[in-house]
Structure 1
Amino acid sequence: MVMVIAVFGATGTLGNSVARALLQDSYNFQVRAVTRDPNKPEAIALADKGAVVIKADMNDRESLVPALKGAHGCFVATNLPLSDPMCQQLEYQQGECVADVCMAMKVSHVVLNAQNHVSKVIGVKARHYDAKACINDYMNERELPLTSIILPFAYENFLGDFKPKLLQQHDYSISIPMGDLSLNMLSIKQVGEAVRYIFSNRTSTVGKTFSLVGDKLTVREIASVLTNHLRPNVVRDAKVTLPEFHRQNSSKAGNDDVTNMFDFLHRVTQRFSMETTRKLIPDLMTFDQWVAQNRETILKLILNNSS
């Protein structure tokens, strides 16, 4: 029987990965791509591949009913900009809305992009983590048939806020305040494969949490991998401390949250399993493989950054 899966955030990087992975198995899945804007190029591309695009807003419970009515499963990804002072409360409310409608529509399997509590564990806020952790708690309290996934630092961050920065010609640095600790990482674009496995194996995955990881490297090792693929450019570890990182990013929205996230990664043992992840994502990419695949994009970014 074909399972109807509602994918929230289908036009974002994470939700799009999930929708595309499910669309590759049209024998078992029918995708409802849920978005606030059905005219987005990403939504149109999903429709072209066979998805049913449904307009809905996670802030509006009534709009969620047609998206979830008759759905076997639901993938939930919430995300709000840290520039919004109310982002944690609003993100939590979105998760609460989806949970309540899933309950009312008797959705039989919910997969949530969850996270760990930061404020409860180390006493400082990382609102993007804390909101997702509280949504996870709420869904468990409602006794939804839930599978949670916890994602680490994304490889794709090296195409954005953490791209190599120019020091001088052919000389770049990356500033990640991890010291000599390894950083758990994963390509967001591979998460869909894990979610497809989870929906395909409901009996063995409901009630479980999967902490996914593709590689574990120190910042020095990350810089070395980047250098190997970007020569003659050399990438170095800036060896930035947490206070220095916080000071350097003082003008950026969410600076406290991101710094506190790294503080959490320093102080709390992370339980990310590559062995488990490979069971869900057989073609799991290492960071080296990802950089090789994205070499031209990274080069273009850093050269534009240099001009």
Structure 2
Amino acid sequence: MRQCDMGRFVEPTGKTVVVVGATGLQGRAVTRHLLGSGWQVRALSRDPDGAPARELASAGAQIACAQMDDVGSLIAAAEGAHGMFSVQPTVGSPGTAPDFSAEDEVRWGINVAEAARAAGIEHFVFTSVAGADRHGSERLPQNLVSKWRIEQHIAALGLPATILRPVSFMENFTGGYALQGGALATALAPEVPQQVMAVDDVGFVTALAFSRPEDWIGREVALAGDELTPTQIAAAIGDALGRPLPYVRIPIGAIRALSEDFAFANEWLNERGYRADISATRRIHPGTMSFASWLDREGAARIAAFLATQPTPEQHS
């Protein structure tokens, strides 16, 4: 991995949005929609020579080397840009170090916000999580508390900001996080509805917000695309794949033995949940995908590709 070049950027024509976390799931979707909407995109990566960054460059993004732990690199990368998109991983996110903590997440989020202020960013969009604004009225899972702390710092800085609060992502059902032993397996109660959202739709709404700053600066919006029980999710995936996919509930005690925070997060989802307004999301973005339409568009193919790499239940026995 080569070191970041701290030099200044020469602007191409058109306004630029800096995308933090550009090689991650949300960052890629945001970059794709911004480029498709005619924006210049400066995609930040700690490894500008890596395959994910090269893929963004081939799509038309300018790649800048920066790290969320280094405020100076963030300021240099943000200079001259109009907007900035910020997202941070949570504990346990793919690609994070084993010792990555909630305090690391908050520090990274604060660093990005501080860099935006120092660089004079005119529109800052932060993706938080639905329910974070209920902090103080009920006990919340740690990942919601972390996002709320970052939100509060953004507000304290007085940034011209938009806060997007999506619910859980449909993409969580495409890999080993939920697909285990030929089944859909989580600690969620089988018959309790859970709200989900396609990451691509977050990218769409982000690009929409940047295109209409007069409507979106100062706005805080929860986003959800569908609501289904885990049993319904498993059935929908099975229908899309043309093969049965049972739902297996992991005992909450087994989760608690690994992580008290993760156990509480599952209990919170079972007992309280995000409570986002799906109809309001569809008013903002009428094309918001349902779980079924997401499966048709991309989800089923991704799930099938993952399952094809896994041993069959018979091979486990």
Asked if these proteins are the same fold (TM beyond 0.5), I'd say yes
Match of 1:16 among 8, 22, 28: 28
SS in 2 for 1:304: coil
The answer on 1:147 being equivalent to 2:180 is: no
The answer on 1:94 being equivalent to 2:108 is: yes
Alpha-carbon separation, structure 2, partners of 1:180 and 1:40: 42
Structure 1 residues not aligned, in runs of 5+: none
CA contact 2:45–2:64 (8 Å) conserved in 1: yes
Question: What does 1:163-202 correspond to in 2, within 5 Å?
Answer: 163-166=178-181, 172-202=183-213
How far residue 248 of structure 1 moved from its aligned partner, in angstroms, is: 5.0
How far residue 130 of structure 1 moved from its aligned partner, in angstroms, is: 2.0
How far residue 110 of structure 1 moved from its aligned partner, in angstroms, is: 0.7
Letter in 2 for 1:224: A
Match of 1:3 among 6, 9, 15: 15
Identity value in percent: 25
SS in 2 for 1:90: helix
CA contact 2:91–2:100 (8 Å) conserved in 1: no
Match of 2:239 among 211, 223, 228: 228
Match of 1:271 among 258, 265, 275: 275
The answer on 1:299 being equivalent to 2:304 is: yes
Alpha-carbon separation, structure 2, partners of 1:61 and 1:166: 43
Relative distance call for 1:62 and 1:86 in structure 2 (3 A) is same
Match of 1:158 among 165, 169, 173: 173
Bigger Cα displacement from structure 2, 71-80 vs 8-17: 71-80
SS in 2 for 1:147: strand
Relative distance call for 1:13 and 1:48 in structure 2 (3 A) is same
SS in 1 for 2:37: coil
CA contact 1:176–1:219 (8 Å) conserved in 2: no
How far residue 239 of structure 1 moved from its aligned partner, in angstroms, is: 4.4
Relative distance call for 1:205 and 1:296 in structure 2 (3 A) is closer
Alpha-carbon separation, structure 2, partners of 1:112 and 1:71: 16
Could you say which residue in structure 2 is the equivalent of 1:247? 254
SS in 2 for 1:238: strand
Aligned pair count reads 293
Could you say which residue in structure 1 is the equivalent of 2:216? 205
Letter in 1 for 2:199: I
CA contact 1:212–1:272 (8 Å) conserved in 2: yes
Provide the TM-score with structure 1 as the length reference. Answer: 0.86
The answer on 1:60 being equivalent to 2:70 is: yes
Letter in 2 for 1:245: I
Letter in 1 for 2:254: R
Provide the TM-score with structure 2 as the length reference. Answer: 0.84
Question: What does 1:76-91 correspond to in 2, within 5 Å?
Answer: 76-82=86-92, 84-85=98-99, 87-91=101-105
The Cα offsets for residues 249-297 of structure 1, whole Å up to 9 and x where unpaired, read as 744xxx3333222222234363312223224433221111222333233
Could you say which residue in structure 1 is the equivalent of 2:125? 111
CA contact 1:56–1:64 (8 Å) conserved in 2: yes
Question: What does 1:21-36 correspond to in 2, within 5 Å?
Answer: 21-26=33-38, 29-36=39-46
Relative distance call for 1:299 and 1:101 in structure 2 (3 A) is closer
SS in 2 for 1:89: helix
